[in-house]
């Protein structure tokens, strides 16, 4: 293992070795934006070739900036590395023992490359889970030339719109996801900068904008967002909230939107510039140089500064681009997570005029997109189980044993199904707690903005349990978490069931003896996320790194 790597980077490489030795298929390393994926790539190349000098490695990416970064990191850790750069955009077509290549330039050359033993894909979430696209074409040709080829992915966002996680589907390239480190861990250790956010006065309205392939239709979105009133209000609020912060990065919907925002900043006395996919390399280099030197304060962009743009001192991110893509949201947020230079703000302020934070949640707990599954017209979703039914009046999914629909008030006649002594929630439960701290001092209250239910597994005994994440006003911060051990033995089970009833105020839940198995928990979590609102507030106590939620309630 090469020297100089951070411990989590070295661990990621060890984990890859162990996984490859014990499994068939291909692993993908998941590491946050700014955690040094290029260093992990360089470490793999140096270490693999030092042990197996006869092999050939192909490193793939989709943008010139990442190709340059990957090649530079390899030669930094290994000055004599046999590296070739293959990219038409960079004017080089050099093939070597390690070939760093742009996918657009090399995807048709698979049969000419010969035997490739290892492929490393930077930004691996761009690989389709279906047998289509440039990456899949190239990998298929390479696999045909050498059936023993393995693929290692690197990404901060291991999912794709419409396809779910990179490991989902029979045709998925990747078999396993290996986490290098979490965002929370790297922030705590000082390797990543903290993001802070505040609710903005101005919010872009995208109600009714069509959705195409999982995101907003670009022309309709541009027409809705890009107008003088919106742009002026965003610029004025940005200036007011950003104060004396020095490097602002603005994400826009289209080229015309980025140019209009630039002009509006200039009209308000702020030095601004624009970069887009149409900006020439020379002009882009000039703009980046002036931006990093402080001569340009506001840099508007569209589709350029999401990957491969590495400037640590960005201290304001302006989201003027609404998106349904959690990956794009993560990429935009990640531009501000690099550790700042001395003399700069230690954090990055995120001004989200697009509603992306509310749409996707904190970046530490992003909800991956679901895999799209084609179904017949009259078929129900695959998670619609025996615990749930559809309200005939509002067509919302509710608990099967519900007597009254919590959404529209519709009353069911099948009262014989109910066991009222077990199913009707008592109001006294509202004072119960899920985890009682050793002492009650230092209780704090947080206003709850949203919640998210999921299934996780106990580290001690690997038993499935429900986890409730409560998010406050600052959605960029991690949530306060509550664990419901419904499948555990007493007294955990009784306590969890009592708290479940309390949290689902006014809603019928199945009897405790009907909640069994992880599958039931998954259905329960998804139904609650889709249909029910959180309490107005929670009270909690912090004890070291642990949070104990002691109470919750609803405001009238």
What one-character-per-residue DSSP string does 173-203 give?
A: S--EEEE---HHHHHHTTSSPEEEE---S--
Q: Is 362 helix (H, G, I), strand (E, B) or coil?
A: coil
> Is 113 inside a domain boundary?
yes
> Is 69 inside a domain boundary?
yes
- Say how far residue 41 (Cα) sits from the centre of its chain: 21
Whether 13 and 149 map to the same domain: the answer is yes
Decide: 85 and 100 in contact? Cβ < 8 Å: yes
Whether 253 and 171 map to the same domain: the answer is no
pLDDT range class, residue 507, cuts 50, 70, 90: low
Whether 317 and 446 map to the same domain: the answer is no
pLDDT range class, residue 402, cuts 50, 70, 90: low
For 393, the token pair is: 């009046």
pLDDT at 520: 83
pLDDT range class, residue 421, cuts 50, 70, 90: very low
Average confidence score pLDDT of the chain: 83
Residue 122's domain is classified under what CATH number?
Answer: 3.40.50.300
Strands of 450-457's sheet, edge to edge? 450-457, 464-471, 480-484
Angle, nearest 10°, between helix axes 37-51 and 7-22?
A: 50
Whether 410 and 342 map to the same domain: the answer is no
Read off the pLDDT of each residue in 293-318 and give the average, rounded to a whole number: 87
Task: Pick the last residue of a domain from 187, 214, 248.
Answer: 187
Average the pLDDT over each of 127-141, 315-329, 430-444, 449-463 and give the range with the smallest value: 430-444
Decide: 273 and 296 in contact? Cβ < 8 Å: yes
Domain count, the chain: 3
Whether 259 and 317 map to the same domain: the answer is yes
Decide: 33 and 337 in contact? Cβ < 8 Å: yes
Domain that holds residue 21: 7-187
pLDDT range class, residue 385, cuts 50, 70, 90: very low
> Is 378 inside a domain boundary?
no
Decide: 84 and 99 in contact? Cβ < 8 Å: yes
> Is 376 inside a domain boundary?
no
pTM for the model stands at: 0.66
> Is 373 inside a domain boundary?
no
- Say how far residue 30 (Cα) sits from the centre of its chain: 11
Q: In degrees rounded to 5, what are phi and psi of residue 425?
A: -75, 135
> Is 1 inside a domain boundary?
no
Q: Which of 460, 463, 274, 471 is nearest to 362 (CA)?
A: 471
Whether 313 and 233 map to the same domain: the answer is yes
For residue 537, what is the DSSP state? E
- Say how far residue 2 (Cα) sits from the centre of its chain: 30
Whether 400 and 324 map to the same domain: the answer is no
Task: Pick the last residue of a domain from 331, 365, 399.
Answer: 365
pLDDT range class, residue 508, cuts 50, 70, 90: low
- Say how far residue 427 (Cα) sits from the centre of its chain: 37
- Cα angle 249, 303, 167 (rounded to 5 degrees) comes to 115
> Is 377 inside a domain boundary?
no
Residue 142 has pLDDT above 60, yes or no: yes
pLDDT at 240: 95
> Is 484 inside a domain boundary?
yes
Q: Is 547 helix (H, G, I), strand (E, B) or coil?
A: strand
**Alpha-helix residue ranges (DSSP H) falling in 316-394:** 326-334, 356-360
Residue 435 has pLDDT above 50, yes or no: no
Residue 427 has pLDDT above 80, yes or no: no
pLDDT range class, residue 437, cuts 50, 70, 90: very low
pLDDT at 490: 82
Whether 305 and 443 map to the same domain: the answer is no
For residue 120, what is the DSSP state? E
- Cα angle 50, 52, 56 (rounded to 5 degrees) comes to 100
Task: Pick the last residue of a domain from 153, 187, 221.
Answer: 187
Q: Which of 60, 13, 20, 2 is nearest to 181 (CA)?
A: 13
Measured distance CA(178)–CA(86) in Å, rounded: 28
Whether 179 and 216 map to the same domain: the answer is no
Whether 445 and 302 map to the same domain: the answer is no
Query: Tokens 């199913």 — which residue?
Result: 423
Who's near 247: CB < 8 A, 6+ residues apart? 291, 292, 294, 297, 299, 311, 313, 314, 315, 316
For 451-505, the pLDDT digits (tens) are 999 988 887 777 889 999 998 877 666 789 999 999 888 888 888 888 898 898 7
Q: How many residues does the chain have?
A: 556
Q: Using alpha carbons, list the distances in angstroms from residue 363 to 22, 62, 68, 157, 448.
A: 32, 24, 27, 10, 17
Question: How many angstroms separate the first and last alpha carbons of the chain?
Answer: 60
For 113-132, the pLDDT digits (tens) are 989 999 999 999 989 877 77
Whether 339 and 434 map to the same domain: the answer is no
Who's near 420: CB < 8 A, 6+ residues apart? none
Whether 356 and 422 map to the same domain: the answer is no
């Amino acid at each position: 293992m090469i020297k100089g790597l951070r411990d989590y980077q070295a661990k990621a490489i060890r984990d890859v070795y162990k996984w490859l030795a014990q499994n068939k298929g291909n692993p993908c390393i998941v590491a946050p934006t700014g955690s040094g994926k290029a260093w992990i790539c360089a470490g793999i190349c140096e270490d693999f070739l030092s042990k197996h000098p006869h092999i050939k490695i192909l490193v793939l990416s989709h943008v010139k900036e990442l190709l340059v970064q990957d090649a530079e990191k390899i030669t930094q850790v290994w000055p004599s590395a046999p590296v070739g750069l293959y990219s038409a955009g960079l004017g080089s077509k050099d093939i070597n023992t390690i070939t760093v290549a742009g996918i657009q330039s090399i995807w048709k050359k698979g049969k000419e490359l010969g035997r490739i033993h290892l492929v490393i894909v930077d930004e691996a979430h761009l690989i389709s889970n279906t047998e289509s696209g440039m990456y899949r074409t190239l990998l298929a040709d390479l696999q045909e030339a050498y059936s023993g080829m393995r693929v290692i992915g690197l990404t901060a966002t291991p999912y794709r719109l419409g396809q779910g996680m990179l490991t989902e589907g029979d045709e998925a390239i990747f078999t396993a996801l290996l986490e290098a480190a979490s965002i929370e861990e790297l922030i705590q250790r000082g390797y990543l900068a903290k993001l802070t956010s505040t609710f903005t006065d101005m919010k872009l309205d995208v109600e009714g904008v069509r959705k195409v392939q999982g995101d907003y239709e670009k022309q309709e979105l541009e027409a809705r967002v890009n107008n003088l009133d919106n742009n002026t209000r965003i610029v004025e609020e940005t200036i007011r909230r950003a104060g004396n912060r020095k490097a602002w990065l603005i994400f826009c919907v289209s080229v015309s939107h980025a140019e209009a925002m630039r002009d509006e900043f200039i009209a308000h006395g702020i030095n601004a510039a624009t970069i887009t996919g149409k900006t020439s390399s020379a002009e882009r280099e000039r703009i980046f140089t002036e931006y990093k030197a402080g001569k340009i304060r506001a840099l508007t962009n569209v589709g350029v500064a999401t990957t491969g743009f590495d400037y640590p001192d960005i201290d304001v991110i302006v989201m003027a681009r609404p998106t349904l893509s959690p990956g794009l949201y993560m990429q935009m947020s990640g531009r501000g997570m690099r550790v700042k230079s001395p003399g700069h703000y230690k954090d990055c302020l995120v001004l989200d005029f697009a509603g992306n934070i509310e749409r996707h949640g904190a970046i530490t707990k992003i909800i991956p997109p679901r895999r799209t599954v084609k179904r017949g017209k009259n078929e129900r979703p695959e998670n619609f189980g025996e615990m749930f039914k559809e309200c005939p009046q509002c067509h919302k999914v509710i608990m099967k044993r519900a007597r009254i629909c919590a959404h529209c008030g519709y009353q069911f006649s099948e009262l014989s199904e109910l066991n009222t002594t077990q199913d009707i929630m008592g109001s006294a439960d509202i004072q119960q707690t899920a985890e009682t701290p050793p002492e009650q001092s230092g209780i704090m209250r947080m206003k709850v903005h949203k919640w998210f239910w999921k299934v996780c597994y106990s580290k001690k005994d690997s038993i499935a349990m429900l986890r409730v994440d409560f998010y406050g006003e600052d959605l960029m911060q991690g949530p306060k978490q509550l664990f419901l051990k419904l499948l555990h033995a007493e007294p955990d089970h009784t306590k969890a069931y009592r708290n479940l009833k309390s949290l689902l105020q006014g809603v019928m839940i199945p009897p405790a003896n009907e909640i069994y198995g992880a599958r039931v928990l998954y259905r329960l979590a998804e139904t609650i996320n889709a249909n029910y609102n959180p309490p107005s507030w929670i009270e909690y106590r912090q004890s070291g790194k642990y949070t104990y939620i002691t109470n919750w309630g609803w405001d009238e």
